[in-house]
A and B are shown apart, each in its own frame.
Chain A
């Protein structure tokens, strides 16, 4: 057991405590949605569209089979999704297809049977008749006037087109150096190892629909289900048991989940649907597909002025409830100046509908694309000017003296020391050594490249920031219920969802710190709308800021009351006692928290005059400033490339990062390494290409969708800076996403560095062997001409 170690921080803050949640998993006793067992449980399989775009003419059900179409689910209410912006075109996403199908994999009908295998047998016999229409598979071409229209009522295929114009436009126009490129980050899936899953049944005891759901936010999902099903919220209980990864992908309400709930209500039967991997790859939410046609404007000495151009987001066929993919475009645009002192932005953004699965959030949301774009462009600018990529960054990075500052994109950067992160990463990777090795050349003919990328990660943003984004649900607070039992042990119920982040441990550390208890005396509960106060869930690197803050606040209230009661029991003034190691300690004696709690619950006759019973409170919390607090860091990577085959090996990878005060370094490092691994997936391996004419997804199994394994991911070395936030409890900043933001940029820059002589272009992820060898060959061909 770790002891409280901290750099001046109190109690358990900063302790390298091993995770409380590990034990059940280590004994193979985790309980995920697919593990829920109910008497009479039946399985559901979906019939899915096999065409990308078509008019749905009819569905023929096999004789005697239990098959549902949209008409059989109803009546359902419309679930309007997307931001509350008048210009945003809505596209209702029905739980089963209505008059049209708009992507391969869209659910058309649902089959109930005793087992999944039987349900799939029946599904194969359901006849779906469609009149095929032209498929739209490219977000730029989709905007052509003659492109097939996904949603007939729309004037074109854009959900929304919006400019982001800010800062000194004259300086932009007068820039002596303008570097133009077209960059693309391709489409991928989120690939939690556990797919989506739902088990729904109607329970007569409270007259409620009980939904076991693999989700990142049970309360918000209940709200969505209540709206679409037309049920009161207190007639739905959503339980998220253990969740096998989410990464953003389980933060939207999806049609299969709604359909299963509707069918459970209709039939009165307990029903289950567990997503299989093919369904996950073609029909869960997709992520990342951005195209940048942009120009970086600079002075002749490498001083960045700003960015102009067009940003295209391929948002897929529909907006998912609640907020769709709308923030991709604005976040990408607003983050396009990165951590640099840019003065101007002139961007046009397009969020475009295509015949693909809907886009949703995935770890980093928009910023992996934006970071890729700006950081690749900075290296291209350096190459153009014959400057060193590290030098050009030093020249442009926002410094400690500039902070806090509002960027030209409108982000309120708070605290940090960005150049120090760059220096630390350079030092860790050993720039001189790498340069010397490059000069010496490799015996095996491989080429070495060094790449660097700097990023910021907005976290813990609340009401003001989400209102700016016109979010349909504004995650501006989190809540905690703190309850001390008669024996002095504590239950804490929170509205966020732990699905790998270690929040049972970190929230216990916070509670233990405030209550003067050991973390083992704290039990953290979550993932059940019936037993936890309302909360938004775990996403956007918000949980430690919001939920941690709520737990601290609630525990402080309980601690204050315990001190009052303890002081009364000790017959001293409440000002003269402190809470420490399970005791209320006075000047001349102490009383255990258990005794205090006993008085507060079982033996009210010991309570002081006027003091209410119970040591329990429910509080909500939002940081003092809701613009968010910014973690940041620098990644550096050394690659070895086989020029002929394009095979890329990562020889070394370092991260220098600052996420403010660290509650638990073990968990922070775990989040970084896991995030970097996903970022490397984006950089080198993961992609869902589509047949351009037919709109068929071409990666439908792990045979053609490459998820990195242990042999692809190197050891990640991590260095820490600590600049506490000013507006959060303990100075924490969120950091769940940062690891995934910078790797595509860092790897791309390393490839460009490896081939800087030939100026081979590395502008499209993932950098598959084919893309790399093509880029090398194209540049060599040009050199030879």
Chain B
């Protein structure tokens, strides 16, 4: 067991955890944040993606103990984020979810793609999404939703614009731009 202090969705947390506890288990079982889903537990499906210090991380292969002093943000902590609001609109509009199991993590990855690429082209989005498994949608609607959200959030962007200009404002999330 070790002592662990970190912020979870903006709130400071101090607790003891077993050395082997994964971040996914900690947020799900320890904190009831069940929007983080577990689809493989070996870092391959992306369903468990959260943000650690603003960077996407697969919480099933991150040990809770590695999060000492860090800011962890789950899908629940991004509900008020403006990029997520746009993604919600576009995912809904493009029918980019069916069973919904991949959706929260897919949106966190999408948010990161938009942060790094702005109005990204579909080919870029497809490449960046590799490693996020969706078994239901066949991906095309997800790619379309992310492209539309990227375009809506970056109205003046021409394709050459290198610098993304999307600010994350959710509690605890500092964007990796």
On A, residues with C-beta under 8 Å from B are 18-19, 21-32, 34-35, 37, 115, 117, 191-195, 242-245, 247, 274, 276-277, 499-502, 666-667, 669-670, 673-678, 701-703, 707, 709-711, 713, 715-716
Q: Report the Cα distance A667→B97, complex, angstroms.
A: 10
Contact among B20, B44, B76 for A28, CB-based, below 8 A: B76
Binary A-proximity of B97-130 (CB < 8 A = 1, otherwise 0): 1111111100100000000000000100111011
Contact among B42, B44, B98, B141 for A500, CB-based, below 8 A: B98
Minimum CB distance partner of A24 in chain B: B100
On B, residues with C-beta under 8 Å from A are 18, 20-21, 25, 28-29, 32, 34-42, 44-45, 47, 74-76, 79, 88, 91-93, 95, 97-104, 107, 122, 125-127, 129-143
B79 touches A28 (CB 8 A): yes
Measured CB to CB, the closest approach of chain B to A742, in angstroms, equals 14
Contact among B44, B76, B143 for A701, CB-based, below 8 A: B44
Measured CB to CB, the closest approach of chain B to A401, in angstroms, equals 35
Q: Report the Cα distance A243→B136, complex, angstroms.
A: 12
Measured CB to CB, the closest approach of chain A to B144, in angstroms, equals 9
Q: What are 21 A-B residue pairs whose CB atoms fall within 8 Å in the complex?
A: A22-B100, A27-B79, A30-B101, A32-B34, A34-B38, A194-B101, A245-B136, A247-B135, A277-B42, A500-B98, A500-B99, A673-B141, A674-B136, A674-B138, A675-B138, A701-B42, A702-B133, A710-B129, A710-B142, A711-B127, A715-B143
Cβ–Cβ < 8 Å partners of A711 in chain B: 126-127, 129-130
Q: Report the Cα distance A669→B95, complex, angstroms.
A: 9
Given A30-B101, A193-B101; A709-B132 close (CB under 8 Å)? yes
Cβ–Cβ < 8 Å partners of B29 in chain A: 115
Cβ–Cβ < 8 Å partners of B98 in chain A: 245, 500-502, 670, 674
Given A32-B101, A277-B41; A710-B107 close (CB under 8 Å)? no
B141 touches A670 (CB 8 A): yes
Q: Report the Cα distance A145→B137, complex, angstroms.
A: 46
A709 touches B104 (CB 8 A): no
Q: Report the Cα distance A716→B47, complex, angstroms.
A: 24
Measured CB to CB, the closest approach of chain A to B98, in angstroms, equals 3
Which of B40, B41, B100 has most A Cβ within 10 Å? B100
Cβ–Cβ < 8 Å partners of A34 in chain B: 28, 34, 37-38
Chain A to chain B: the 4 pairs with minimum beta-carbon distance, closest first: A28-B35, A25-B100, A244-B101, A500-B98
Cβ–Cβ < 8 Å partners of B99 in chain A: 192-194, 242-245, 499-500
Total A-B contacts with CB atoms under 8 angstroms apart: 163
B42 touches A703 (CB 8 A): yes
B138 touches A18 (CB 8 A): no
Minimum CB distance partner of B144 in chain A: A715
B139 touches A709 (CB 8 A): yes
Q: Report the Cα distance A709→B130, complex, angstroms.
A: 6
Minimum CB distance partner of B46 in chain A: A709
B92 touches A19 (CB 8 A): yes
Cβ–Cβ < 8 Å partners of B41 in chain A: 276-277
Minimum CB distance partner of A29 in chain B: B35
B135 touches A35 (CB 8 A): no
Cβ–Cβ < 8 Å partners of A32 in chain B: 34, 37, 101
| Further pairs besides A500-B100, A674-B137: 20, Cβ < 8 Å | A18-B93, A22-B97, A22-B100, A28-B104, A35-B34, A243-B99, A244-B101, A245-B101, A274-B38, A501-B98, A669-B95, A670-B141, A673-B138, A677-B138, A701-B42, A703-B44, A709-B139, A711-B129, A713-B140, A715-B143
Cβ–Cβ < 8 Å partners of B141 in chain A: 670, 673
Contact among B25, B39, B42, B91 for A22, CB-based, below 8 A: B91
Cβ–Cβ < 8 Å partners of A713 in chain B: 138-140
A26 touches B103 (CB 8 A): yes
Cβ–Cβ < 8 Å partners of A675 in chain B: 138
Q: Report the Cα distance A500→B100, complex, angstroms.
A: 7
Q: Report the Cα distance A670→B93, complex, angstroms.
A: 12
B138 touches A242 (CB 8 A): no
Minimum CB distance partner of B22 in chain A: A117
Q: Report the Cα distance A673→B131, complex, angstroms.
A: 19
